[in-house]
Amino acid sequence: MKKIGFFDTKPYDRIWFDKLKDKYGFEFKYFESKLNGDTAMMCNGLDGVVAFVNDVIDERTIDVLSGFGIKILALRCAGYNNVDFKAAFGKLHVVRVPAYSPHAVAEHAMALILTLNRKTHRAYMRTRDHNFSINGLTGFDMYGKTVGIIGTGKIGRVFADICKGFGMNVIAYDPFPAKDSGIEYVELEELFRMSDIISLHAPLTKETYHIINKDAIGIMKDGVYLVNTSRGALVDSEALLNAIRDGKVGGACLDVYEEESELFFEDYSNVVIKDDTLARLISMPNVIVTSHQAFLTDEALRNIAETTLENLKEFFDGKGLTNEVCYQCAKYGKCEKKENERCF
């Protein structure tokens, strides 16, 4: 029976893997800690490893895993910016879950915007305290406003449809526009200039790192809303904080944060957090932070568990790896697969 080690696990994802355990016949070992060069030492005796978004899969981690004879790492997420693919190539096959529910993330993005705009989080707190005043809760009609979407892949396109349902004007920027999507594509600068709301749905790459920075914010409309459910480092958090303080940015919805790996998914309610930028952002009345939970629906969790275990089964059955990523796939979107339909 193959032994699989899961890192950074929480009760809400374990239940879905446990439900499928008998079907796949693997033995599971759950670790609460994140995977990194130190915790990889716990993998001796395992046949495969499952990692998540904030695990550190750098050269050291890869060398430790491959030293234990482990040849398969299954990411139970779509993004893979936390993997050193150059170091992994030839040693560790990396598979991922390319899509589990674009609806979950797109719907969460809209939920955040509606909350920020109509201040339902504040109204909820007030009425619980029998405070029925509506002073300070004024929002704006979403109808007729322009939303700029950066990245129109699976999530960005679902989000575009949701926005169209609200009667919004949808414009988008993507270096690889979706054909026949009916989406109006514009240059990035134009998107910055025209949008009332900007929502990020692109992966973290060299090109998208700090795509929202001081200069970009400078050309945006006064009072623009920024929404990030993609990866934290697309936004220069210091620049965002300054722009919110100056009133240039009217509000921000952040499900991801560039320094999230040490904080998100954990309970620090009894601790003084040392990240002043995040603490100040959270303290702003027009900023809503959720801790990387946009994916968190039953449907997405079930799909993540199924695809992850199917990815592992393909590996152990000696089959081609449908969802493998290597440095070539990651950079160019495809690679010269070997005869056995694996990257190496």
Nearest distance, CB of residue 123 and ligand NAI, angstroms = 25
Catalytic position from the list 260, 306, 314, 324: 260
Please give the angle made by the CA atoms of 9, 14 and 16, to the nearest 5 degrees. 140
> Which of 62, 50, 32, 55 shows the shortest CA–CA distance to 97?
50
**By CB under 6 A, is residue 87 in contact with ligand NAI?**
no
Q: Strand, helix or coil at 155?
A: helix
Which listed residue (61, 117, 199, 230) binds ligand NAI by CB under 6 A? Answer: 230
| Nearest residue to ligand NAI, scored by beta-carbon proximity | 153
Q: With binding defined as CB under 6 A, does residue 203 bind ligand NAI?
A: yes
On whether the CB atoms of residues 235 and 258 are closer than 8 A, the answer is yes
Residue of 97, 96, 93, 99 whose CA lies nearest to 315: 93
What track of x and - describes contact with ligand NAI for positions 161 through 200 (by CB under 6 A)? Answer: ------------xxxx------------------------
Cα distance from N-terminal residue to C-terminal residue, the chain? 25
Residue at 264: amino acid letter: F
Q: Using the structure block, give the residue that is written with the tokens 């406003």.
A: 145
Mention every residue, 6+ apart, whose C-beta is less than 8 A from residue 201: 105, 106, 109, 149, 150, 151, 152, 153, 155, 156, 159, 229, 230
70 or 304: whose CB is closer to ligand NAI? 304
Count of CA atoms in the C-beta half-sphere (13 A) of 10: 10
Under rule CB under 6 A, residue 255 binds ligand NAI = yes
Binding string, residues 134-153; x marks residues near ligand NAI by CB under 6 A: ----------------xxxx
Is 130 among the catalytic positions? no
Query: Please, are residues 172 and 149 in contact by the beta-carbon 8 Å criterion?
Result: yes
Q: Which residue of 226, 289, 294, 301 would you call a contact of ligand NAI, by CB under 6 A?
A: 294
82 part of the interface to ligand NAI, by CB under 6 A:
no
The yes or no reply on residue 256 touching ligand NAI (CB under 6 A) is yes
Which of 199, 295, 307, 312 touches ligand NAI (CB under 6 A)? 295
Catalytic residue status for 342: no
One of 46, 65, 95, 105 touching ligand NAI (CB under 6 A):
105
**Min CB(33)–ligand NAI separation in Å:** 21
DSSP 165: H
Considering the complex, what minimum distance in angstroms separates the CB of residue 231 from ligand NAI? 4
Distance, in Å, from the CA atom of 86 to the CA atom of 107, rounded to the nearest integer, reads 35
Least Å from the CB of residue 132 to ligand NAI: 35
Contact 110, 160 (CB under 8 A): no
CB neighbours of residue 121 within 10 Å: 12
Q: Which of 88, 160, 202, 249 binds ligand NAI (CB under 6 A)?
A: 202
Sign of the CA dihedral 295, 4, 36, 275?
A: positive
CB of 299 to ligand NAI, least distance (A): 13
Quick one: which of 248, 281, 292, 324 contacts ligand NAI (CB under 6 A)? 292
Q: Does 208 bind ligand NAI (CB under 6 A)?
A: yes
Choice from 61, 82, 229, 323 touching ligand NAI (CB under 6 A) = 229
Asked if residue 261 binds ligand NAI (CB under 6 A), the reply is no
Q: Is 260 a catalytic residue?
A: yes
Distance (Å, whole) CA 295 – CA 3? 27
What span, in angstroms and rounded, lies between the C-alpha atoms of 37 and 60? 5
Out of 72, 78, 227, 329, the only residue in the binding site for ligand NAI (CB under 6 A) is: 78
Cite the active site residues. Answer: 231, 260, 292
Binding site for ligand NAI (CB under 6 A): 78-79, 99, 102, 105, 150-156, 173-176, 201-203, 205, 207-208, 229-231, 255-256, 292, 294-295
